[in-house]
Chain A
Amino acid sequence: MNPSKQLAPELLSGSQVLIEALERNGVKQIFGYPGGTIMPVYDALVGSTMKHYLCRHEQGAALAADAYGRVTRKAGVCMATSGPGATNLVTGIANAFMDSVPMVVITGQVPSALQGTDAFQEVDIFGITLPVVKHSYIVREIADIPRIVDEAFQLAENGRPGPVLIDLPKDISAGTGAAVHMPLAPLPAAPDPDASTLQAASDMLSKARRPLVIAGGGIAISNSVEAFRRFAERTAVPVTTTLKGLGIMPADAEGYVGMLGMHGNGAANHAVQNCDLLMVVGARFDDRATGHLAQFAPSARVIHIDIDAAEISKLRKADVAIVSELAPALDGIRPQHKANTGWRAQCAGWTREFAWRYDAPAKGIYAPKLLRDLSRVQPAGMITTCDVGQHQMWVAQHCSFDDPLQHLSSGGLGTMGYGLPAAIGAKVAKPEATVLCVSGDGSIMMNVQELATLKRYDIDVKILLFDNSALGLVRQWQEIFFDGNYSEVHLSDNPDFAGVARAFGIQARSISEPDEVSGALDWLLKSDGAAMLHVAIDSMENVWPLVPPGKPNHKMMRSNPDKAR
């Protein structure tokens, strides 16, 4: 806007000051939903350089902003009104918090004088979100807005990223005042890794007989994939990844043993249980990755590298801890020789032994094989978003990614309903990329209203919907761990999903036979604009392997204990 405003501040509304501050911070797109107390901001938004995407539920807006933040590594911005608008954002905020995603959240609030009086659409969103934000503000003075907005972006994007909430009472957004922008001092840079600690880590790697690296989501967040690949090639240490680390190593890279954890690859879980040194990079020992923690990697000493000091020795004691940016630490760890060839051969043997098989005698279409086939024909750089459940694990197991930012999955929070809004956020952030949402019949219904957003803005998202007429992962657990006592998991009365898509103006096809897969995938990927491919699959199909809860990772179940598959 007019630069002279910075020289001689004139009276502006709080909303105008906010819009200017967002524009100054480089915001190009906002995901949101208007309502009572945020109306002054929507009034000021008209004529702004920013494009607003009206999602059809605030949760959709927050999850779209999450994916936007993951893909761009800049804070995605979402906005909603007070009360239910704000509470509907909470799942998206928690999702971003758990997966360390930069996000700036703006909520309307009732006027300051009414706060604390149980006013219409008043909730203490500041209090509600305290456990799931990196930081948060309630704006009390118009003059504070430029600083608060600048700080919010700075905090959201620097160090370990996360969501920052700005709660804006209506008397502030509608009131007028003067606000001068004063540039913020930069945050102190993360310390360089300490030379003696790097040496200690190098020595441990040199002495290890069976070293293994766990590569986590922090590597993608900190843009350290290339540094990591240099390290892996230089040291030849076998690598496993977490769910959020998928894509850090090409799927067929030498020494890569796949994803570890509850539904990880057997090679990864055997390598981790047998290693004598575990170097953990940008990962946090999540229980879905470790299985029974006390029996996790029982013979291993641990090198833990993370930018967040609070992750060190939180769950597993680190013998050497490096708190720094990941790339300089990876570049600075220099073992005297490459990893032991015998150990590498053992890992390669496990990789062969536990290679995925696609000859399972499934009834109808076998989802893992479809996903493997899709990976072979997908356009370069395709971004895949997932919902949560069996299909999410099949994507993790059977799709291949050249870069972790091509796989957007709700890892920490496990948010059913993430996939479709995430695909919207990803496509808006990166319009040149093909964006595929892989969903399930349970998850899609959590945010199905966002089909309207696809149509409204002509957002080209391809939806691959696996429909097993069940909440499949819950059904699987009930089958295995609750003696087949199925409780509230049957969805045999699902709507006609292709018909639902068409009702929203989205083209759709349904398939149920294996010989239809190839042509249907071709149709989906080449269709002009948004499209849905609905795929009926066997409702009794399970995700294998499975590490039962409370068991160590090598005690994987590879099939149903009671039935031969």
Chain B
Amino acid sequence: MGAGVIELDNISYNYGGGELLSDVSLQLQPGSFHFLTGPSGAGKTTLLKLCYGALLPTSGRLLAFDDDIAGMDRDQMALLRRRIGVVHQDCRFLDHMTLAENVALPLMVSGRGENGTQENLTELLGWVGLGNRLEAHPPELSGGERQRAALARAVILSPDVVLADEPTGNVDWEMSQRLLHLLIELNRMGKTVLIATHDLSLIRAAKSQVQARVLRIAQRQVQLAGADL
């Protein structure tokens, strides 16, 4: 193995007394685009959490940027998470802060919140179509606005990898296409993208725009999906 930004080597993960993932091996190459699909409860979110160190595997080896996650202390883990942007289905905003503050949170925690922040922030929120919502609070935003804001927060530190967990789960078709377009744009900028979704129409729509690898979780294993999608 080697050269992958994130590499899973015979990873297993047990949850609630049972094995949720078994001997999973996967390599995300720099600049690649992946979909991860499978039925609800198959372990898509778990696999994503393993990729950014929110969970540790029960067995096997997990490398992120050539470093073994198991050997990282909490400070190293924090630095790793600055290189991996994550979009959650429930967005996870701090409701007492404005949209601009929420999106700028990664800059603030990494101590990069001073020079040119406001311009970059305005530009980024403009890119996701929220340039006029800087002072809004998360509860005032629609589902689509929240997802786009979560995407902006995930990429504000210009991470190498973007992981998205059901990013279109709470939005209509038009909005899901808009989000997909933004993720494809990020991939064209050189970011590695992994999207966990059960929405097969989204995958079909993407196939015409980007060279995507589709992975399916079935029977605790990750397999390359066939042409039947």
Is chain B a partner of chain A in the same complex? Answer: no
Contact residues of B with A, CB < 8 Å? none
